[in-house]
């Protein structure tokens, strides 16, 4: 079993406004940059391999936490929100009404027009997780809330209906184990970055 830590990037203006970012390469906000300066990775993660989503907000977060640029992997990029990118859930609910609500009841198969469902995110994560599990190299991934939620679903069986098992809070990490087949088990969710993993 191989350790895997998932860290969400520091905040952006669109995070503060509740906008769906998806693949839009939105930069960290001034508040996000200020928050990032207070972040430090747990010492236990220093010897891990580090990987980031290709988007700037994750690369900047990873660079701060490691003190160097880290390699990127497109399989850990945020969920594609398609035509809904840049909009808020309130805006979508008001403009689409019952159609939006019906889409949300699809759980893992909730799919924005022209975008990805959570199940599709899980599918592109599968080969990434298998590589980590077979390489047996502990890894930190600086990624996005949608990816963290997709991984949490794989680990817990949550179907994206009802209360999620993970909040994906900024300034925290989520620790899992990956087996040789790429399967996930949970060690801890939403752990503050200033807290070392439990032995």
Q: Please give the positions annotated as active site.
A: 9, 78
What does the angle CA 111 – CA 113 – CA 117 come to, to the nearest 5 degrees?
Answer: 20
Sheet holding 184-192, edge to edge: 71-72, 49-52, 139-143, 2-8, 172-178, 184-192
Interatomic CA distance for residues 99 and 120, integer angstroms: 21
Q: How many CB atoms lie within 10 A of CB 108?
A: 17
Dihedral of the CA atoms 187, 190, 196, 199 (nearest 10)?
Answer: -10
- Cα 143–chain centre separation: 4
Does an H or E element contain 48, and which?
Answer: none
Interatomic CA distance for residues 170 and 46, integer angstroms: 19
């Amino acid at each position: 079993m191989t350790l895997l830590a998932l860290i969400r990037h520091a905040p952006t203006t669109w995070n503060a406004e509740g906008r769906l970012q998806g693949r839009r390469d939105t930069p960290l906000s001034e508040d996000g940059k200020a928050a990032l300066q207070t972040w430090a990775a747990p010492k236990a993660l220093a010897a891990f391999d580090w990987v980031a989503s290709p988007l700037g907000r994750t690369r900047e977060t990873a660079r701060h936490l490691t003190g160097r640029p880290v390699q990127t992997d497109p399989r850990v990029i945020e969920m594609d929100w398609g035509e809904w990118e840049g909009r808020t859930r309130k805006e979508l609910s008001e403009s689409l009404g019952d159609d939006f609500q019906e889409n949300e009841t699809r759980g893992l198969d909730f799919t924005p027009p022209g975008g990805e469902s959570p199940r599709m995110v899980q599918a592109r994560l599968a080969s990434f997780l298998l590589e980590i599990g077979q390489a047996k190299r502990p890894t930190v991934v600086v990624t996005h809330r949608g990816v963290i939620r997709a991984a949490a679903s794989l680990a817990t069986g949550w179907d994206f209906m009802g209360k999620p098992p993970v909040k994906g809070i900024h300034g925290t990490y989520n620790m899992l184990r990956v087996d040789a087949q790429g399967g996930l088990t949970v060690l801890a969710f939403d752990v503050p970055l200033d807290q070392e993993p439990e032995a």
